Amino acid sequence: MKQIAALLLSSAAFLTLSRAAHADPSVPDQSVAYSFGARAGGYGFRNTDDPTMGQWDDCRMDGAGVFGQRTLTRYLFAEVGFDLYTARDATPVDGMPAPMDRISGITTVAGGARVPWRWVQPYVQLGVGLEVTRVEMPEHDYSNSAAYPMGFLGVGAELWPTEHLSFGANVRTNLMKHFDHASDQMTGEFEAAGQGQLFLKYQI
């Protein structure tokens, strides 16, 4: 009986050492890992009033944020983040409505799935969040502070030049509150917004 137990222990030790010997040391161990990073970018709603201005530049918001991730498995990860955005245009433009002053803080949680290649890792994300925003429109004597839910679907990719440091980019489609100030009254409804971000991340 002791001989059988010793044989089983020897076999288990041999398999463990064999896996370690064949593992690629250049591939980051992302089975269970924590990481944090910073990102910057902007988003805009689809412009249907003036095609010459572009397709996704209505109520353009630019900003930056921080985020943290936890790798759940080799392929799955979770993320929490906070971003602060402000309206890009703050001065009147001839022939256009008076500018809207807006600032938003957005807290998000998301789940994602990645392809764990060595140098490039594509991924997809699905998330929800809460936007706390303040909107002012002097021309309409309008001011409002409120919190609204939001959600997003995104795709991206990150490059891993070292075992712990990565950088990348993503594009997202956000479903969030849009305030229309082209008319005499401020109105708001949920619409899709296109977003792009660049980020830098460090894995502990």
For residue 55, being part of any structural domain is answered with: yes
Does 152 score more than 90 pLDDT? yes
For residue 9, being part of any structural domain is answered with: no
**How many CB atoms are located within 10 Å of the residue 41 CB?**
20
**Cα distance between residue 56 and residue 123, in whole Å:** 23
Segment 59-115, tens digit of pLDDT: 889 999 999 999 999 999 999 999 999 986 555 554 455 567 889 999 999 999 999
Segment 1-28, tens digit of pLDDT: 444 444 334 444 433 434 443 444 444 5
**For the chain, what percent of residues have pLDDT higher than 70?**
71
Answering whether pTM is above 0.85, one says no
**If you average pLDDT over residues 117-125, what whole number do you get?**
95
The whole-number pLDDT of residue 138 equals 73
Does 55 score more than 90 pLDDT? no
**Cα distance between residue 185 and residue 194, in whole Å:** 25
**If you average pLDDT over residues 153-176, what whole number do you get?**
96
**If you average pLDDT over residues 181-188, what whole number do you get?**
63
Q: Which of 67-81, 91-105, 153-167, 178-192 has the lowest mean pLDDT?
A: 91-105
**Cα distance between residue 107 and residue 62, in whole Å:** 16
For residue 6, being part of any structural domain is answered with: no
Does 144 score more than 60 pLDDT? yes
Cβ atoms of residues 171 and 179 within 8 Å: no
For residue 15, being part of any structural domain is answered with: no
The whole-number pLDDT of residue 88 equals 67
For residue 134, being part of any structural domain is answered with: yes
- Helix/strand/coil percentages in the chain, nearest 5: 15, 60, 25
For residue 14, being part of any structural domain is answered with: no
User: Domains in the chain: how many in total?
Assistant: 1
The one-character DSSP state at 20 is: H
User: How high is the mean pLDDT of the chain?
Assistant: 81
For residue 130, being part of any structural domain is answered with: yes
SS3 state of residue 14: helix
**If you average pLDDT over residues 164-184, what whole number do you get?**
87
**Cα distance between residue 163 and residue 165, in whole Å:** 6
For residue 1, being part of any structural domain is answered with: no
Give me the CATH number covering residue 194: 2.40.160.20
**If you average pLDDT over residues 159-169, what whole number do you get?**
95
The whole-number pLDDT of residue 49 equals 66
Domain of residue 51, residue span: 26-203
**Cα distance between residue 7 and residue 9, in whole Å:** 5
